[in-house]
Structures are given as structure tokens and as C-alpha cells.
Amino acid sequence: MKIIKNLLAIVGLVCISGLFIFAVQKPDDKEVVPVQKMINDYNVYALKLPDGLNFAGEPVPLSIPDVYERMDKELLVNTYWQSNGLLMFKRAQKYFPIIEPILKKHGIPDDFKYLAVIESGLTNAVSPAGARGVWQIMPATGKENGLEVNDNVDERYHLEKSTEVACKYLLQSKNSLGSWTLAAAAYNAGNAGVSRRLKEQGVTDYYDLLLGEETGRYMFRIVALKEILKNPKTYGFNFEEDDLYSNIPTFNVTIDTEIADFTVFAKEYGINYKILKIHNPWLREPHLNNKSRKKYTIEIPEKGYYSKS
């Protein structure tokens, strides 16, 4: 009983609108610290949808009620998922400079870099369906577009090469379906799937389609992440430049032989196996078979960036 009384002397139990809240009280204080200020320190606000939301220059028709509500939902969900949002800012600083020039080279609108954000969170994600890498490419799609995909080497994890494949697929979709918005949706549902739905429902626009939950949310999620990542302060994200991630400078080593042990190989360049795999995630095993004497380019970080001192 004495212990309980001492605790009650330290912690005041305050009831506000039926909600019990603990407030700190020093043993020698006579008054409980006000809790209203504590409550007001964190607020959740409704968001005003900005005018002119678009994807690749194609407008989001917010005048349609269900489109407005779906866009509002994705902007709210992604604004208030703060930890995930901040990680997207950090990773974008690292990976967008690699993705952007490849999109530009192929004539793909820059907005498609946000498709990679929602596909994988800019990580080498693995999906239950078998998709891999930042662009979430399926094995057959990778092989059809010239990627090596096997247990030893999987180039879906190679950011530059997988971005090239994504560009090729998106261009085919745009030519087939007629708009960049539909091309982006087809990246999720497939060209045949989107084309079939358009025909079945007698429409020509993504925003007029009734779709399953994943593809139905797809474009709204892309546009929401685009809006937030382009306007961090507007949506409450605060950081300095040095809070963001950056690429480590590397140099290339070309090989055309088997490598029996990547641990030994890494040590020859002053790094360990972990660091080798960070920069070359497409190397899937601790050795390279390469009986065909194919040329591979392995990235090695410049000296000094992984020093413990």
C-alpha cells in the first residue's frame, strides 16, 4: 500500500472528456503539470488537395467525387505515415540521380521515378509473386528483356539495368494503351489486363475504370508520393541536406572469369564481403560461376568511405 501511495503522489490521473491521461507531478509539487499543452503539441489536420495534380502532365480529375476521395485518402495516409515518408526522402536523394537520366534517355517522363517509390520503397524488395528489385520485375519479364536471372546472378537487382528494362516495358505500354497514366497502371496489372478492363467497361481512361483494390489505388499512391516528395515542408517533413542518404563513389572492375570466393576477391580491394554485396546486390551467391566467360562489371567503393575511424 505504501508503494502505491508513493506512486500516486508522483503520477496524477486526469480525466478529460472521458479519457484518462497520466500527468507528471513532482513529489514536492502541489499541482499537477497541465495536460492540455501536452495534448495540443500533436495535431492531425485535414489536407487541402492542391490544384493541378497530375501524372506526367495528365491531370487527375478531382471534380469526379470518387476520384477526389481516393486522392484525399492516399495523400492523408502517406502524409501521416511519417517514418516511411522520411525514409522515402532519404532514399530518393540516393537513388533518383541514378534513375532520372535513364528515364530521360528513353523519353520516359520524370514522374515515373515515383512509380519505383511505391513499387519497392526504393529497396531491393521481394514480392510473394516473385518480383524482385527496385522496379519489382518478374523473372520472365527480366529474361525477355535481356537480364540474366538465375540463382547465381540476378540482374533484376542491378538498378541501372533494371531501370532500362522498366523503360522498355513502359514505352510498349504507352504505345499500346495511349496514355502515360494507363502505362503506369499496366505496370501493376499488365498490358493485357488493363486493355481487357477498358474494353469490358467501355471506357478509355484510368479514372473511369472500376478496378481491384491494388490497381485501383495505384495511380493515387504515385501522385500522392510525388506531391509529398516535391513539397516536404507543406506536408510537415523537416530535415537538413546531411540527414539524407548519398551514394558512395565507386570504380568499376571488369571480369570475364569464374570467381571461386567473393570474400577473397573483396579483400583484394580492401573491403569485405558485406560491402561488396551492398554495391553489387545482383551477385546472389558467394561465388561466380561464369563458365561462358561473360564480361561482368563489379562496382568497388573508393577507399576511405567504410573506414571505422
124-133 confidence digits (pLDDT tens): 999 999 999 9
* Angstrom distance (rounded) from CA 155 to CA 133: 9
Domains of the chain, by residue range, sit at 2-40, 54-243, 250-301
CATH number, domain 54-243, options 1.10.3720.10, 3.40.640.10, 1.10.530.10, 3.40.710.10: 1.10.530.10
Q: Where residue 284 falls among pLDDT bands split at 50, 70, 90?
A: very high
Q: Are 283 and 238 in contact (CB under 8 A)?
A: no
- For 151-164, the pLDDT digits (tens) are 999 999 999 999 99
Please state the pTM of the whole predicted model.
0.86
B/e letters for 254-270, b = 16+ CB within 10 Å, e = fewer, are: eeeeebeebeebbeeee
- For 39-60, the pLDDT digits (tens) are 556 788 899 999 999 999 999 9
Q: Is the pLDDT at 122 greater than 50, yes or no?
A: yes
| Per-residue confidence (pLDDT) for residue 108, from 0 to 100 | 98
| Per-residue confidence (pLDDT) for residue 43, from 0 to 100 | 85
Q: What's the rounded mean pLDDT across residues 206-217?
A: 96
Q: What's the rounded mean pLDDT across residues 207-227?
A: 97
Strand ranges, E, within the chain:
11-16, 19-24, 54-55, 58-59, 250-255, 296-301
Closest CA relative to residue 203, chosen from 187, 220, 185, 221: 185
Q: Which of 12-21, 176-185, 193-202, 211-220 has the lowest mean pLDDT?
A: 12-21
